[in-house]
Structure 1
Amino acid sequence: MLEKLAKQTAVYGISTIAVRFLSYLLTPYYTRIFGQETYGIVTYVYALIPLALTLLTMGMESSYFRFSGKADAAGGDVAAAKRRLFATTWGITSLAAALFFGAVLLFRNGISQWMGPDYVAHPEYVVWVGAIILFDVWSCIPFSRLREQGRALTFVGLKALSVVLNVVLAVAFGAAGLFSTDFGVGWVLVANLAASVVTWGAVLCTVDRTLPRIDRALLAAVFAYSLPLLIGGLAGTANEFIDRLMIYSLAPVNAGAQLGVYGAITKIAVVMMLFYQMYRLAAEPFFLSNFRKSDFVQMNAAALKYYVMVSMVIFLGIALFRDLFALIVGRDFREGIFILPVVLGANVLTGVWLNLSFWYKREERTWLAIVVTGAGLAAIVAFGGWLIPRWGYYGAAWARLGSETVMVAVSWWLNRRFFPTPYAWPRIGEFVAVALAAFFAAEWFTVLAGNKIAGYAFNILVFAGYVAYLVHRERIDLGAMLRAVLKRGER
C-alpha cells in the first residue's frame, strides 16, 4: 500500500514541481522590479489570502475525503452518495465565499484603513483580493473531488493553467510598464484574479453537471466533523503567516522593507515546500480512506520515517548551497539569506506534524486539531513578540521554528496518549542529528578554509556522504529501484 502512496506522491510531485517552478519564476521577477518595501505590500497581501481561504472552505476538504471513504464503505448507490456530498460541500463553501465578497465590497474602506496606509491609498486592492478569494474558494471542492478520484494529472493540469496564465500576464504587465503606474502592484492582483477566474471556468468542466445544492441533514453531519478542523485550520494558517504580519507591526526599523526581504527568502525554500505540498496532496486522501487500524498504523509509521529522510536530504541540498539559491532573488533581498536554514527547519517540522495529524482525522477526533494548532499559534505569538522587536525578520524565522517545534511536541504527546503508533523515533532522530552535524561541520570548514570553492567542494562531499549514509542505514537497493523505474518506463 505504501507503494500506492509513493506512486501518487510521485505523480503529484513531478507535475507539481514543474507547475510551482513556473509560479516561483515570479519571485526573481518581482524582486528585481520592485523595491523591498513595495514587495512587502505583495507579501502582506499574500499572507492574508490563505487565512480567508481557510475560513471560507471550513475544513470541508478533509471532510469530503473522509465522508467519501465512508460512502465507499457503506456500499449501496455510492455514486449518488458522493454526488450529494460533493453538491453539499461545494454549495456551502460557495455560499460563504459569495457572502464574504459582498462584505468586502461594502466595507472596503474600513478594511483598507485596518491594513495600513498603502491600502488606504488604494482601497481597490482590497476588492481585487476579495475577488481572488471568491473564485479560489469556488474552485476548492471541485479540485478536492479530482484528488479523491485519483485524477492527479487533471488536477495538476488545471493548476498549471492557472500558474502559466498568472506568470504570462505578470510579465506582460511589466513589459507594458503597468507596474510603474499609480495602480502599481495592483496589477499583480489583476494577473492573479484573471488566472483564478479562468481556472474556475475550466474546473467546472469536471463536475459532471452537478450543481451546488445543500442537503441540510448531510451538512449537519459533515459540519460536525469539519468544525474543529475549521477552528484548528484557522489557528494553523494564522500560525503559518502571522510571522509576516508581526514583522509589519513589530520590526524595530524599516518594517516594510524587512517584510519584503523575509517574504523573498522564504520563497527560496521552494523545494522543501514543493515536497511537502506534493506529499500532502497524495497522503491526505490516502490516509483518510478506510484502512484497517493495523494497516493504517504500520503505513503511517513507515511514511513518517521516509518523509523525514527525504526532507533532510532537501534541507542539506539547499542549506549547504544557499549562496547559490540566493541568486534567485534580486540583489537587494539577498542580505537575508542567512535565515534560510532556520526557515527550512521549520518547513521540515510542518510535514512531521502533518503526518501526526492523520490518526485523529481518521478517528474523527478532529477537535484535537484545535489543541495542536492553538498551541502553535500561542507559541509563535509569544516567540514573535519577544524576538521580532529585537532581531527583526531573523527573530520571525526563529519564532516560526519554535512554533513548529511546539506543534510537533504536542502532536507527539497526543499520539502517544490516545493512539500509540510505532514511529521509529530513534531512527528518525538519528537521521536529523546526522544531517545537522553534517551541516555544522560544513559551516565550520567553510569559515576555516576561507575559500568559497573549497567550501563548495567540501559541501558536495558532505551532501553525497549523507545520502550514502541513508542508503546504507536503510539498506536501500538502488539497483532494484532503478530497474523498477525502467521497467515501468517500458510499459
Structure 2
Amino acid sequence: MSIAKKLASQTAIYGVSSIVGRVLSYLLVPIYTAHFAAAEYGIVTGLYAYVSFLNVVFTYGLETTFFRFANRPGEDRRELYNRTMSLLLLTSAAFTVVLALLARPLLGLLHLPPGHEEYAVWVALILGLDAVAALPFARLRLENKARKFATIRLLNIGIYVGLNLFFVVLCPAVTQSEGGSLLAALKPLVAAVYNPELGVGYVFLSNVAASALTLLMLSGELLDFRFRWPRLPFLRPLLAYSLPLLLMGLAGMVNETLDRILLPAWLPEHFYLGLSPQAATGVYGACYKLSIFMSLVIQAFRYAAEPFFFAQSTEKNSPATFALVLKWFTLCCALIFVGISLNLSWIGPLFLRRAEYRTGLGVVPILLLANLFLGVYYNLSVWFKLTDKTYFGTYIGAAGAVLTIALNFILIPILGYMGSAWATLACYFMMAGLCWWLGERHFPVPYPVGRLLAWLGGAVVLVWAGQAAIGALPEWSGYGLGLGLPLAFGAAVYALEGRTRRLATPVA
C-alpha cells in the first residue's frame, strides 16, 4: 500500500466516526429549527461558541504535544501518557470548578437574561469531561486503533442524538397528547424525568450525559493510567511545546467562533426586521451548520493526517508526499464547495424548517469557501509542527484573530451576519497565504499553488454563474442544473488531474 493510500485509508476510518457521527448530529438541526424559535436557538449557538473556544483552554495543545513527544527516539510512551494524563486531570478539574462559579457572568456576556445559570454549569461539565477524554482518544490515534476510536465516537453521537430526540421531540409530544392515545400512556414516565421549563437546556443535558458515558467507554485507557505528579523537569519541555499551540488554538477559535459571540453584541437592535440580535445569531448559527459538510472532511482528515505527518517527517520524499496530499485535499474540498452551493435551494428547506432561518442562506457559500481555506491552512501548518517552531502558528493565528475582530467590528453594523461570513473568509484566506509564504522559507514543499488557485477560481466562478442560472430557471430545471454542474466539475478535475504522477512509495 502506498503512503498516500495508507493516509486515505486512515482518513476513511476516522471519517466514519466524524462524518457519519456529525451527520447524525446534524439531523438535529431540522428538529431544533422546528421546535425552537430563532432566539432560543441563539442561546445554543452562543454557548456552544464558548464551548469551542474554551475547549482549547481545557486541553491547551496537549494532544499534539503528546504525538510529538511520543515519536521521539527512546521516549517511554507509557510514562509520558501517565504524566500527561495526570496533568490534564488536575487542570480539567480546576477549570471546571472555576467556570461553574462564573456561570452568571458568562450568561451576561451572551446578553441573556438571568435565570438559567444551570446552562453555564452544564457547559462547564461538558468541557471538563471532554478534556479528560482527549488524551485517551489521542492514544488510540497514536496506536493506530482507528476502529475503536471510530466506534466510541459514533456511540457518543448516538447517545447525544437519542437523548435529544427523547427530550426535544418525544417528551413534548407525550405531554401534549390527548387521553386514550398511545403517547398518553407514557405520561407518568415522562412526568418523572421531563420539565418543560428547561427548553433548550435539554440540548446541554444530553451532551453532559453523552460525554460522561464516553469516559466509561474509554475505561480501558483510563484504568491503564497511573497517576504521576507532573514535576517541573517533565513540565518544562512539554509546556514549552504546548503553550504556543494553546495560543495558536485560542487565536484559531477567535477566528472560528467569535463571530457568534460578537454578533448579538455588535448588531444594531433593529437591523433585521422582526429579528432581535439574539434571534439573528440563531439564524446565522443554523445556516453556519450547512457549512459542516466541509468541516466534516477537514476534521476526518486532521484525525488521520496529524500522526501521519509526524510519522512521515523523517522520510526522504516527505515534501512530495505533503504536496500530493494538499493537492487532492483541495480538489476534493472544491468539489464539495460547488456541490453544496449549487443545491441550497433544496438543501436549505430540508434542514432549516422555519422560514426565518432560511433568510440567512446567503452566508453558506462564503462559509464553505472559508472552511476550505481553513483546511488548506491545516495542511500547510505541518512545517512549523515538524520543525518545532510552533510559535509561528501563534503569530499566524494572532494575525487572523486581529483581522477577524477588526472586520467583524466594521462589517457587522453594515452587513449584519453577512459581514461575519466575509470576515471569516478573509481571515482563513490570509492565514493560508501567510502560512504558505513562511513555510517556503523554513520548510520548502513543492505545493502546486498556482494550479490549485486556478481550480479554486474556476469553482467560485462556476458557483456564481450557476446560482444566477438556477434562479432564472423553472424549479425542476434548476434542480437538474444544480446536480449536473458539480458532476461536470468533478469530471473536469478527473480528466485533467487524475492521470498525473502518483506517489508509490511502499509503506515499511
TM-score by length of 2: 0.89
The one-letter amino acid paired with 1:93 is: L
Q: CA deviation at 1:428?
A: 0.7
Q: CA deviation at 1:460?
A: 2.9
Aligned with 1:313: secondary structure? helix
Alignment of 1:480-491 (within 5 A): none
Alignment of 1:64-463 (within 5 A): 64-70=66-72, 74-75=73-74, 81-118=76-113, 120-174=114-168, 175-177=170-172, 181-207=196-222, 209-216=224-231, 217-252=233-268, 253=270, 254-289=276-311, 291-292=313-314, 294-326=316-348, 327-331=350-354, 332-447=356-471, 449-463=472-486
The one-letter amino acid paired with 2:84 is: T
Cα gap change, 1:168/1:45 in structure 2, threshold over 3 Å: closer, same or farther?
Answer: same
Greater Cα offset, 381-390 or 432-441: 432-441
Partner of 2:42 in structure 1?
40
Structure 1, residues 166-217: CA drift from partner, whole Å, max 9, x if none? Answer: 1111111122138872222111111110111110121122346212424422
Mapped to 2, the partners of 1:104 and 1:339 lie a distance apart of 32
Q: CA deviation at 1:85?
A: 1.2
Cα gap change, 1:451/1:290 in structure 2, threshold over 3 Å: closer, same or farther?
Answer: closer
How many residue pairs match? The answer is 469
Greater Cα offset, 283-292 or 207-216: 207-216
Give unmatched runs, 5+ long, in structure 2: 173-192, 271-275, 503-508
Mapped to 1, the partners of 2:117 and 2:80 lie a distance apart of 38
Cα gap change, 1:63/1:380 in structure 2, threshold over 3 Å: closer, same or farther?
Answer: same
Cα gap change, 1:170/1:460 in structure 2, threshold over 3 Å: closer, same or farther?
Answer: closer
The one-letter amino acid paired with 2:196 is: T
Partner of 1:8 in structure 2?
10
Greater Cα offset, 50-59 or 285-294: 285-294
Asked whether 1:467 is paired with 2:461, we answer: no
Mapped to 2, the partners of 1:169 and 1:200 lie a distance apart of 17
Partner of 2:54 in structure 1?
52
Aligned with 2:313: secondary structure? coil
Q: CA deviation at 1:63?
A: 0.5
Mapped to 2, the partners of 1:51 and 1:211 lie a distance apart of 30
Contact persistence 2:313–2:386 (CA under 8 A)? no
The one-letter amino acid paired with 2:325 is: A
Q: CA deviation at 1:323?
A: 1.4
Greater Cα offset, 424-433 or 437-446: 437-446
Cα gap change, 1:134/1:15 in structure 2, threshold over 3 Å: closer, same or farther?
Answer: closer
Mapped to 2, the partners of 1:460 and 1:453 lie a distance apart of 11
The one-letter amino acid paired with 2:314 is: R
Structure 1, residues 113-134: CA drift from partner, whole Å, max 9, x if none? Answer: 344333x221111111111111
Contact persistence 1:69–1:290 (CA under 8 A)? no
The one-letter amino acid paired with 1:141 is: L
Aligned with 2:228: secondary structure? coil
Q: CA deviation at 1:409?
A: 1.8
The one-letter amino acid paired with 2:424 is: R
Aligned with 1:211: secondary structure? coil
Cα gap change, 1:126/1:458 in structure 2, threshold over 3 Å: closer, same or farther?
Answer: closer
Cα gap change, 1:295/1:89 in structure 2, threshold over 3 Å: closer, same or farther?
Answer: farther
Runs of 4+ in 1 over 4 A off after TM superposition: none
Between Structure 1 and Structure 2, which shows a larger proportion of helix residues? 1
Q: CA RMSD in A?
A: 1.8
- Name the structure, 1 or 2, with higher relative contact order (CA <8 Å, separation 6+): 2
Mapped to 1, the partners of 2:260 and 2:302 lie a distance apart of 23
Greater Cα offset, 286-295 or 154-163: 286-295
Aligned with 2:226: secondary structure? coil
Aligned with 1:337: secondary structure? coil
Partner of 2:180 in structure 1?
none
Aligned with 1:269: secondary structure? helix
Mapped to 2, the partners of 1:102 and 1:460 lie a distance apart of 51
Mapped to 2, the partners of 1:347 and 1:51 lie a distance apart of 17
Cα gap change, 1:412/1:444 in structure 2, threshold over 3 Å: closer, same or farther?
Answer: same
Mapped to 1, the partners of 2:303 and 2:80 lie a distance apart of 20
Mapped to 1, the partners of 2:195 and 2:216 lie a distance apart of 31
Identity %: 34
Cα gap change, 1:111/1:208 in structure 2, threshold over 3 Å: closer, same or farther?
Answer: closer
Cα gap change, 1:407/1:179 in structure 2, threshold over 3 Å: closer, same or farther?
Answer: farther
Contact persistence 2:111–2:264 (CA under 8 A)? no
Mapped to 1, the partners of 2:85 and 2:437 lie a distance apart of 35
Mapped to 1, the partners of 2:57 and 2:80 lie a distance apart of 20
Cα gap change, 1:184/1:459 in structure 2, threshold over 3 Å: closer, same or farther?
Answer: closer
Mapped to 1, the partners of 2:194 and 2:200 lie a distance apart of 6
Partner of 1:484 in structure 2?
none
Mapped to 2, the partners of 1:433 and 1:96 lie a distance apart of 45
Structure 1, residues 7-57: CA drift from partner, whole Å, max 9, x if none? Answer: 111111234222111111211111110000000000000000111110121
Structure 1, residues 391-419: CA drift from partner, whole Å, max 9, x if none? Answer: 11111111111111111121122112222
Aligned with 1:288: secondary structure? helix
